[in-house]
A = this chain, B = another copy of it.
Amino acid sequence: MSAKKLSNLPVWQKLTQQALIMNRPENHLRNLLRDENRLERFSSESSGLWYDFSRQRINEKTLELLIGLAEEREVQQQFRAMVRGEKVNQTENRAALHTALRNFSDDPVFTDGKDVMPDIRKIRHDIRSFVEKVHSGEIKGSTGKPFRHIIVIGIGGSYHGTEFVSDALHAFADKNIEINYLSNVDIHNFGKVVSRTDPETTLWLVISKSYKTTEVLANVNQAYEFMKEKGLPLEKHLVTVTSKGSPGDDPSIPKIRAFHMYDFIGGRYSVTSAVGGVPLSLCLGYDRFERVLKGAEEMDHHAKDSPPHENLPLLAALISIWNNNFLGYEAQAIIPYASPLRKLIPHVQQLYMESTGKFVTKEGDLLDVPAGVIIFGEAGTMAQHSFFQLAHQGRPFPIDFIGVISPQYQEFKCKTNGITNHQELWANMLAQARSLAEGRENKDDPKKSFPGNRPSSLILLKELSPEDIGRLLAFYEAKTVFESFIWGINPFDQFGVELGKILAADARSKVKNYPFDSGDDFSLYKKLVREV
């Protein structure tokens, strides 16, 4: 048993030693950055991304040891097994084939002895022809009006990734269809969403693998009632994305149509399936959705095949492990200096924290080192005016800065201080990365002293094209999976959410006896708290 422990691996122990060395004052980032070759050495470009990790607290030796760790743990072999369709989701006895969703080669992908590609191609084709009919007005609402709004009912993995992509590419949403998300069971969400959509021109798109998720069903029921009151039949405004054979696929329940999801795609890895495909194609057109897939495919190939020294998501995973397990940082921030990428933060928060928030290995042994960290963030420069005080002079945390060379809006070129707003954004991004790393001492006035040595990476994209969004999506997916493979945990299950579900079901019989009126005394709810 102890032989299996990560911390007993010679390379892990060497990394622990290496951390002591990197913690020495002479290895402050301010000193490391004096090396003129550092940027060349600790940055890499591939698949439309440039990854600069020169402001991480590593040296050549650290990087070699980290790559040794990746090799020891055979993470690329595991990644290839995943792509081939092996059952890498051992606890649920399933494959994890999100990479097949963007496979445009003619190669088959087998799982359980069956090639999944014909089905995947068929669904792509079905999505295309369906959305074309919506856009042309061939498919329309019950009163004969074309659809102008979609309300996506879905939560967690059926929501965050799609919201990220739709928000990131909002500037290209030229299909005259506005997307709204109804995720939370909270009636405030329902109230707000229906207050700003026109029921006659609304398509309700219900996304749920099991079609049993409490939040989803509660919102669907609310939607039936709401549409009925408006004198509109929901079934003529309803499309589902769900597992074959689920209640949402039941042919006896009328709907415009159902699209299928697969059991070998986990929710948080499902953006490039019909989960994202249907809503994104409705807003952006199918072609742009396919361009997202092509960008993701490019990154998948890169993650699978390129050697560790050049492998961007693998390098990012190793840096993340280093910061977490060896330098002891418990949180990581994502700061995109490109506000269309703002929703990447909650997406990666879900993707990464649900995948890596584990304390047992895939074999069921207790993990001897902490896995996942807390992911949070804010767009730059907003973050500078929010929590960067703490980043500079308080508790340090590593940061992924994300920059974009060319913005989506090209028409606003007015200059302030001699530069455009976009150039100002860049000046700030680079200045922050540098000042966090280098710091600046002020012996006379400690409150104006900056300790520095705060690590960060810089991820650059050329623009915010659909391909770029696909690349970024697949980059963070691969990084998450690589880290999990190093720890030996299963990034595709989530048993940790079960206990809350069980207790919530128990609690229903209690809460139903309470009126929830604003005039109620707190003492009544104190009674409820005691009961649950």
The answer to whether A184 and B450 touch across the interface, beta carbons within 8 angstroms, is: no
Q: Given the known inter-chain contacts A43-B526, A424-B218, please indicate yes or no for A518 contacting B379, CB distance below 8 A.
A: no
**A183 in contact (CB, < 8 A):** yes
From B353, B387, B430, contact of A389 by CB (8 A): B353
A contacts with B, residue count (CB < 8 A): 152
Specify which chain B residues have a CB less than 8 angstroms from the CB of A356 in the assembled complex.
390, 394
**A256 in contact (CB, < 8 A):** no
**A11 in contact (CB, < 8 A):** no
**A419 in contact (CB, < 8 A):** yes
**A112 in contact (CB, < 8 A):** no
Q: How far is the CB of A218 from chain B (nearest CB, A)?
A: 4
**A440 in contact (CB, < 8 A):** yes
Residue of B nearest to A392 (CB): B496
Residue of B nearest to A506 (CB): B431
**A251 in contact (CB, < 8 A):** no
Q: Chain copies in the assembly?
A: 2
The answer to whether B407 and A495 touch across the interface, beta carbons within 8 angstroms, is: no
From B218, B349, B385, contact of A497 by CB (8 A): B385
The answer to whether A418 and B516 touch across the interface, beta carbons within 8 angstroms, is: no
- Per CB-CB distance, the 10 closest pairs between chain A and chain B, nearest first, are A357-B390, A156-B385, A357-B394, A191-B409, A431-B503, A406-B518, A393-B496, A353-B387, A376-B376, A427-B507
Specify which chain B residues have a CB less than 8 angstroms from the CB of A520 in the assembled complex.
405-406, 462
The answer to whether B191 and A408 touch across the interface, beta carbons within 8 angstroms, is: yes
Those of A119-145 within 8 Å (CB) of chain B: none
The answer to whether A187 and B421 touch across the interface, beta carbons within 8 angstroms, is: yes
Q: Given the known inter-chain contacts A350-B385, A412-B187, please indicate yes or no for A431 contacting B507, CB distance below 8 A.
A: yes
The answer to whether B526 and A50 touch across the interface, beta carbons within 8 angstroms, is: yes
The interface stretch among A76-84, A234-242, A280-288, A441-449 is A441-449
Q: Given the known inter-chain contacts A331-B374, A339-B184, A503-B434, please indicate yes or no for A423 contacting B388, CB distance below 8 A.
A: no
